[in-house]
Amino acid sequence: MPDVGDELIYRSRDYSASEHVRVVQIDVRKKTPRYVVEFVDGDKAGTRENVPSGRLRGPWSDVAAYDELMANWERIDQAELTDSEQSAVGQVFDLLIPDEVAEYEWSPVRYATRVHQRQALQALIGIAVDDLVEQAEGFVLDGDVMLSADGTLMIAECACRINPMPVLDWVLEDEKEYREKSRNGRPAVGYDKRAYTTSPEWEYQWYIERGRPLHELLRSWCGQRAATLQERLGAAEAENRRLDELIIRIFEELKRLGHAQAADYLIRTYEEDRITAANFRPVVDRPLKPSEIPVRYVTAPRRWGH
């Protein structure tokens, strides 16, 4: 805590100019102490103000390093993200970017990313961190790389391109939840602690305003090819389940009509010849050795007269 006589850095706002002040009195009348400071230099020299501790930023002897740090923070604090971009970035970091590699931060600059492990992040997004710094604002802080909101968006989008399926799977599951809510509403608790059920109309409007823009943004980051592949695979699996249920009904109907033996044969053949992921790939076997080749005896027709 500052003490009387300390010469400190004073800033009225984060990105205001640093001013030289000296603590002349500590005001302890309130729960949180305030400080009466006297300005040392400039037009305000000799004037005093009662200020909160948040405006005192450290010893005046460190003003050069502090000004450089704050200039760097201001440089990367120039972009804003939309609500959909914020939600999308947070979801991608949760799914694809481990905290020990990089973190999506909110303070002191919103939407910034702190990169802890540069090589590990490059493996996840396919781009070197130095290239990110060249394309988006950034600087080095305590060995980590701090990136602006533009850099954060680039990390999220590149990660989706490299590994799209976990993100697309999450989108499908989230859409299923929205579909259920838009049909039946959902249980909720009001400000008065009373339980109630939201209306389907309200849930659908929330989906239109928040859910769908988020899903569309994530799909665009993953790319049309990956999104189409996921849809085709999902459709194939759903159709396979539908046909499987239909075939089971056919077998049951055959048994009911007295064709139990034929039904059992068809069921056995259906199970044995089923195509699965385990047997879909062709198996390449080594050539047989002469000793392994089975001997076939062929009876030739007898020729008379020889």
Q: What is the pLDDT of residues 256-304, one digit of tens each?
A: 888 888 888 888 888 888 777 666 666 667 777 888 888 877 777 766 6
> Of 209 and 275, which is predicted with more confidence?
209
Decide if pLDDT at 119 tops 90: yes
pLDDT on residue 294: 82
pLDDT on residue 224: 84
pLDDT category at 121 given cuts 50, 70, 90 is very high
Decide if pLDDT at 231 tops 60: yes
Stretch among 10-24, 135-149, 222-236 having the lowest mean pLDDT: 222-236
Stretch among 7-11, 98-102, 136-140, 242-246 having the lowest mean pLDDT: 242-246
DSSP string, the chain: ---TT-EEEE-SSTTSPPEEEEEEEEE-SSSS-EEEEEE-SSTTTT-EEEEEGGGEEEEGGGHHHHHHHHHHHHHH------HHHHHHHHHHHHHH--TTTEEEE-SSSTTEEEES-HHHHHHHHSS-HHHHHHHS-EEEETTEEEE-HHHHHHHHHHHHHHS-HHHHHHHHHHHHHHHHHHHH--EEE-TTS-EEE--HHHHHHHIIIIIHHHHHHHHHHH-HHHHHHHHHHHHHHHHHHHHHHHHHHHHHHHHHTT-HHHHHHHHHHHHHT---TTTSSPP-PPPPPGGGSPP---PPPPPTT-
